[in-house]
Amino acid sequence: MANNQTEEIKEKINLVEYIGQFVTLQNRSGRFMGCCPFHKEKTPSFSVDPDRAYYYCFGCHKGGDIFNFMMEYEKLSFPEALEKAAAKAGVALEKNGDGGSGRNRELKLKKEALIELNNRLSHTFAYFLLETDQGVQALEYILSRGINRDTISFFQLGYAPADPRWLYGFLQKKNYSPPFLEESGLFSRRRRGYPLFRDRLVFPIFSLGGDSVAYSARLLNGEGPKYINSPETVLFKKGKLLFGLGKTLPHIREEKSFVLCEGNVDVLALYQAGCRNCVAPLGTALTEDQLKLLKRYADRGVILFDGDKAGFEATKKAAILCENLEIGLKAGILPEGQDPSDILQREGGEYLKKIVYESIIIFDFLLECSIRIVDVYTPEGKSTVVKELTPYLRAVKSEVKRQAYLESMADKLGLDRRIVILEYQNGSAPAVTLRQNSQVEPEKMSDELYLVLIALANPSCVSELKKELHSGELRDSRAVKLWELMEKWEDIPQEPNDILSRLNDNEPLLFYKEWIKKDEMKLNVQFTLERGLRVIKLRNLERRSREITALLNKSGKDDDRIEAELLNEKMRIDREIQRIKVL
């Protein structure tokens, strides 16, 4: 493109007016001054010269023309900034190459027409949802999820009518041609004129520029996938956009952080609760391109995915991608079986915000989830945890962090740190050396003892834990003795150290003093207690199931009554095992 076109663009755009959208500027003798948008300051040092169409900050020394500002502030590449500025200035960009200008012009016109169509249709869908009887069921559904009308309007939610003939007829009356509609992503490719979105709650997907470019829609009645998304078009690439980003981008840019959740309604719930820097993948696994897009505006984030097996795998993948892109990631701990919209509805926005603000280091979350999913009281279970977390540990660039994580994992699994490090290094992983500075041997800390010590450190939890835990379910003799002591007092009036001193075993007291200094026994108490109880119950049930299997193999065919009783017990236990595993 000729250089005179860039000059033409700069001449046609008033730089003061453009930057004034983002910065409060005051005229000082022909120069316009304000606080710099690129660094924090109280005294204005950011200057815009309208005559030269140039800006400069005397504090951080950043400066340039309209293109530099767009690239720096809006995180655009030069071609993106050039295209955006040209559109604002009304300048048609020249393209190089034989015949290229014609094809590019045709593509540009097609994109503009699709944007116009989607923006118009988003308003129409919103009208059906909020203003017609047809949208009543969809509106009642989203309101029942705790989402209010202000949030519904902000995200421009809508309703796609059930009539399969309505949309095609409506758009033909607006003079859209059949070939164009076939490429719009609104209709089935197998059944001409049949809408993809019918009798569904519609969530528009917005570009960074704020245009509606695609849709995600939830089923309300009948059979079919719960959610469907628009197919890819010249406007929409599923792996390159995130739901909500076109609306929440200013908050992500301001806070330099994001909250990543699983679904569309989760985004709405978080936004309504005050966590307005929220986004979600578009019905598929999180992609590197999506995170690269977020990294333009944020260097850290919080992930709110389920803690089940599928959620663990998705979180682990996201953690690896973030580590590779040097994005700091934490995880919020959701109550079991609840998503953000459930929490907003039942507990309120402040509780939901608290979950985000009290998020934990991503490795600690992955470790807790991995321990919960397998039986860590077997050698196979311990080995599985190490193998599950090895891909993430390999992505960690800091050797200091990696070593700390490995030692933490060894402590949680009750293993010698050297053994865990050796197991990790067996798979051509980065080398790790063992740190020799701990006064206590935490590899001797079992999950059972840790659980009882957590209860000891948080006396308000003891009475509730007594309903769920009996000393006969524990195998660690130290945990058994300590729990039996604690069961004798209803309200635990004694100091923890006094109770521990009655044990005739110094090890638990040393453990308690070591771990209480780290404040770990006061963090995420409910989650830790629930996870510990689940592991103990699951381990005991699985052990009993194995015992019954052995008895069945030994029982004679002539003892039908005993065999039937054992089979019934095994069926009951196996059902309970499955129930606990899916919690």
pLDDT 10s digits, 291-322: 999 998 898 999 999 877 888 889 999 999 99
Q: What is the pLDDT of residue 501?
A: 64
| Helix residue ranges, H only, 358-446 | 362-373, 379-395, 399-413, 417-425
The structure tokens 């966590």 sit at: 275
Measured in Å, how far apart are the chain's first and last C-alpha atoms?
Answer: 60
The DSSP-derived string for 286-303 is: --HHHHHHHHTT-SEEEE
**Two tokens, residue 524:** 């995420």
Q: Which amino acid is at 435?
A: R
Q: What is the pLDDT of residue 257?
A: 94
- Compute the distance between CA of residue 501 and CA of residue 495 in angstroms, rounded to an integer: 10
Do residues 276 and 254 lie in contact, with contact meaning Cβ atoms separated by under 8 Å?
Answer: no
- Compute the distance between CA of residue 208 and CA of residue 213 in angstroms, rounded to an integer: 10
Q: What is the pLDDT of residue 556?
A: 53
* Local structure of 237: helix, strand or coil: coil
**Two tokens, residue 514:** 């070591």
Q: What is the pLDDT of residue 95?
A: 59
Is pLDDT above 60 for 101?
Answer: no
Is pLDDT above 90 for 532?
Answer: no
**Which range has highest mean pLDDT (56-60, 91-95, 349-353, 519-523)?**
349-353
Q: What is the pLDDT of residue 524?
A: 62
Pairing of strands 300-304, 328-331: parallel
- Grade residue 440 by pLDDT with cuts at 50, 70 and 90: very low
Do residues 8 and 67 lie in contact, with contact meaning Cβ atoms separated by under 8 Å?
Answer: no
Give the tens place of pLDDT for each residue, 225-264: 899 999 999 889 888 899 999 999 989 988 889 999 999 9
* 365 alpha carbon, distance to own chain's centre: 13
- Compute the distance between CA of residue 454 and CA of residue 445 in angstroms, rounded to an integer: 12
Give the tens place of pLDDT for each residue, 153-201: 999 999 999 999 999 998 888 888 888 888 899 998 888 889 999 999 9
Range 540-546 contact pairs with CB under 8 angstroms and sequence separation of 24 or more: 540/473, 541/573, 541/576, 541/577, 541/580, 542/375, 542/577, 544/573, 545/570, 545/573, 545/574, 545/577
**What mean pLDDT comes out for the span 11-32?**
87
Give the tens place of pLDDT for each residue, 321-377: 999 999 999 999 888 778 898 899 888 999 999 999 988 899 989 998 888 888 777
Which of 133, 129, 264 shows the shortest CA–CA distance to 206? 264
| Helix residue ranges, H only, 206-360 | 245-255, 264-273, 288-295, 309-324, 340-346, 349-357
**What mean pLDDT comes out for the span 54-78?**
83
Q: What is the pLDDT of residue 381?
A: 84
Would you say how long the chain is, in residues? Answer: 583
**Which range has highest mean pLDDT (132-141, 375-384, 514-523)?**
132-141
Which residues touch 454 (CB under 8 Å, ≥6 apart)? 461, 521, 525, 528, 529, 532
CATH 3.90.980.10 corresponds to the domain 108-236: yes
Give the tens place of pLDDT for each residue, 387-436: 899 999 999 988 888 888 888 888 888 888 888 888 887 754 455 544 44
Is pLDDT above 70 for 96?
Answer: no
Q: What is the pLDDT of residue 28?
A: 83
Q: Where are the domains of the chain?
A: 3-89, 108-236, 245-364, 374-437, 443-523, 529-581
* 467 alpha carbon, distance to own chain's centre: 34
Our CA dihedral for 14, 16, 17, 18, rounded to 10 degrees, sits at 80
Do residues 485 and 499 lie in contact, with contact meaning Cβ atoms separated by under 8 Å?
Answer: yes
**Which range has highest mean pLDDT (43-52, 72-81, 494-503)?**
43-52
Is pLDDT above 80 for 5?
Answer: no
> Which class is 245-364 in CATH?
alpha beta
Q: What is the pLDDT of residue 162?
A: 92
Do residues 126 and 156 lie in contact, with contact meaning Cβ atoms separated by under 8 Å?
Answer: yes
Q: How many CB atoms within 10 Å of residue 442?
A: 20
Is pLDDT above 50 for 488?
Answer: yes
Identify the weakest region by mean pLDDT among 231-235, 269-273, 283-287, 320-324: 283-287
**Two tokens, residue 423:** 């197991």
Which of 388, 382, 375 shows the shortest CA–CA distance to 414? 382
The DSSP-derived string for 140-205 is: HHHHHTT--HHHHHHTT-EEE-S-TTHHHHHHHHTT--HHHHHTTTSB-SSSTT-BS--SEEEEEE
Do residues 160 and 197 lie in contact, with contact meaning Cβ atoms separated by under 8 Å?
Answer: yes
Q: Which CATH topology does 3-89 take?
A: DNA Primase; Chain A (3.90.580)
Q: What is the pLDDT of residue 229?
A: 92
- Grade residue 549 by pLDDT with cuts at 50, 70 and 90: confident
**CA distances, 201 to each of 134, 159, 379, 510, 557 (Å):** 11, 5, 49, 57, 59
- Compute the distance between CA of residue 92 and CA of residue 85 in angstroms, rounded to an integer: 11
pTM of full prediction above 0.75: no
- Compute the distance between CA of residue 255 and CA of residue 213 in angstroms, rounded to an integer: 26
Q: Which amino acid is at 230?
A: S
Q: What is the pLDDT of residue 489?
A: 62
- Grade residue 61 by pLDDT with cuts at 50, 70 and 90: confident
Q: What is the pLDDT of residue 558?
A: 53
CA-based R_g, the chain, Å: 30
- Compute the distance between CA of residue 264 and CA of residue 247 in angstroms, rounded to an integer: 13
Average pLDDT, the chain: 82
Do residues 205 and 212 lie in contact, with contact meaning Cβ atoms separated by under 8 Å?
Answer: yes
- Compute the distance between CA of residue 390 and CA of residue 396 in angstroms, rounded to an integer: 10
Is pLDDT above 70 for 6?
Answer: yes
**What mean pLDDT comes out for the span 66-93?**
82
Backbone angles phi, psi at 53, to 5 degrees: 55, 50
**CA distances, 583 to each of 65, 307, 378, 380, 454 (Å):** 56, 9, 21, 22, 22
